[in-house]
Structure 1
Amino acid sequence: MAVGTLTTVPVPAPRVIDRRVAGGAMVLAPLAALPLAAAAGLVVAAGTALGLPALATAALALGAVALGSRGLHLDGLADTADGLGASYDRAKALDVMRRGDSGPTGVATLVFVLLAQVGALTAAGPVTAAAGVLVGRCTLSLACARGVPPARPEGLGAAVAGSVPRTAALAVGVAATGLAALLPGLPWWRGPLAVVLAYAATGALLWRCTKRLGGVTGDVLGAGVEVAVATALVALAWR
């Protein structure tokens, strides 16, 4: 479920999708995203070796990640921004998010977040690029932790919301923070700081969406991933 939902890698469909399977898929999201992280790192390494402009290399790396994930999270970011920017009526906001088209708020948010990701990635190496992609997927367990309600009774959000035990979500965050301290070429504290800031950014978005929409949807999960990636890349690229 994790690989089939988060990447374009062809895998057999899960025979059963229940709360246990859904929660496990969200916990394993960083492992499922390893091919995406590898693609980002390889593109950055190849672009650097070929002497391509840093801006073009960064755009190509993020384009490879978007292609490998069907643009799922980018779509969620745009839809969530449109919903939060719509009427204060909860039902109307959810209806705007369900439509699938993108309004000016969604497009502007998408552009700004991508600019932040590309700009940060121009100063990052292959390992940093891969780390940013993985940190974003680590936050999915936070977004699906017990106590986070679904905004709708149906859809991906309803299937995974509250499906991850809090201890498991905490374990993913602690593991990500510890591994980030091992990133080469950076002070030991830079990686953990990037993880903490990425989780804080996603947590703030979750708080806002839970208060505004009554819970999370699949779009909100995608938005959290993209916000976390942008935050992590900016923190890792900071000099």
Structure 2
Amino acid sequence: MSKPVSVSSLPDGLRFAFGTLTVLPVTVTRWDRDAARAGMLCAPVAGLVVGLLSAALGLLLLLLGAGPLLAAVATAAVPAALTRGLHLDGLADTADGLGSGKPAEDALRIMKQSDIGPFGVLTLVFVLLAQVAALAEAYGQSWTRGALAAAVSATAARLALTLAARRGVPPARPEGLGAAVAGTVPVRNAALVAGLVVCVAGGASTLVGPYDVVLRTFLAVVLACAAAEVLLRHCTRRFGGVTGDVFGALAETAATAALVVLSFGSFG
């Protein structure tokens, strides 16, 4: 049974989250299950920082006279750079594993290979196109909406990892990052973090636009987590659990879903 998360473990959790989910210069001092639990609960904080840095670059380019499309490309590139492309690599590997149609053991072996197959390539192309198109549309509506989309999508992407690390979700392999964090987060704690992220995202959106923007922001986070949950359950059935690649795929799926929702125009 998982131990409750204490306030004293939060510094280790933040170091774990930033040290494993970003390339920012953070030293991870603890790799035990307690640190992993706190780290996965702090994952949305790392996502928020990534999102803010992404938005900053996009806004800088717009300020210098660039168009929404170039700003969108730069914004989408920042999370990839700050994760060394690991989430995108995980997305491609998971797509190859799922697309292979082979039994779990063979599919997992395919996912561990260094090359990327046709399913992975196609998935990467369409996901990145969707992200850039959605960000360009959001920046085209207003600079602040584009920045909001960048911050919310990156935060929702890491929230999906918090939810995927909840108790009851087993690892597919006995080793690797997936095994280190799988099942570490109590369900109640994961739900509390999810509620907090939804509230903070909705509250921040009130500074950007009217009611429809606030509602769309709420929906973006909820639907991002729902899309990641669908993929999580499918991967758990196919592979017998989660891996580091699956976590990467979940993050990219959630980010893309959030961006698509936030790119929509007014409801009215």
Moved over 4 A (4+): none
- Unaligned ranges ≥5, structure 2: 1-15, 139-145
Q: Distance in 2 between matches of 1:216 and 1:31?
A: 22
**Partner of 1:84 in structure 2?**
98
Match of 1:185 among 186, 209, 224: 209
Alpha-carbon contact 2:219-2:261 (below 8 Å) kept: yes
Q: Distance in 1 between matches of 2:79 and 2:46?
A: 13
**Partner of 1:149 in structure 2?**
170
Give the deviation of 1:129 after TM superposition: 1.3
Equivalent position amino acid for 2:188 in 1: T
1:9 aligns with 2:24: yes
**Partner of 1:119 in structure 2?**
133
1:56 aligns with 2:70: yes
**Partner of 2:255 in structure 1?**
229
Q: Distance in 1 between matches of 2:119 and 2:56?
A: 33
Aligned length: 238
Q: Distance in 1 between matches of 2:28 and 2:54?
A: 26
Equivalent position amino acid for 1:32 in 2: A
Equivalent position amino acid for 1:7 in 2: T
Match of 1:199 among 222, 225, 244: 225
Between structure 1 and structure 2, the one with the greater Rg is 2
Q: Distance in 2 between matches of 1:87 and 1:190?
A: 36
Match of 1:99 among 78, 92, 113: 113
Equivalent position amino acid for 1:112 in 2: F
Give the deviation of 1:194 after TM superposition: 0.6
Give the deviation of 1:176 after TM superposition: 1.4
> Helix, strand or coil for the counterpart of 2:137?
coil
1:143-190 deviation line (CA, Å, top 9, x unaligned): 110000101111111111111110111011111111222212152211
Q: Distance in 2 between matches of 1:98 and 1:80?
A: 10
Q: Distance in 2 between matches of 1:27 and 1:178?
A: 16
Q: Distance in 2 between matches of 1:10 and 1:46?
A: 23
% identical equivalent positions: 49
Give the deviation of 1:53 after TM superposition: 2.5
Alpha-carbon contact 2:55-2:150 (below 8 Å) kept: yes
**Partner of 1:217 in structure 2?**
243
1:7-35 deviation line (CA, Å, top 9, x unaligned): 11112232x32221111111101112333
1:177-207 deviation line (CA, Å, top 9, x unaligned): 1122221215221111111100110000001
TM-score, normalised with respect to structure 2: 0.86
Match of 2:181 among 140, 160, 165: 160
**Partner of 2:153 in structure 1?**
132
Alpha-carbon contact 2:33-2:181 (below 8 Å) kept: yes
Identify which range, 58-67 or 43-52, moves more after superposition: 43-52
Alpha-carbon contact 2:58-2:75 (below 8 Å) kept: yes
Task: Indicate the RMSD between aligned Cα atoms, in angstroms.
Answer: 1.2
- Unaligned ranges ≥5, structure 1: none
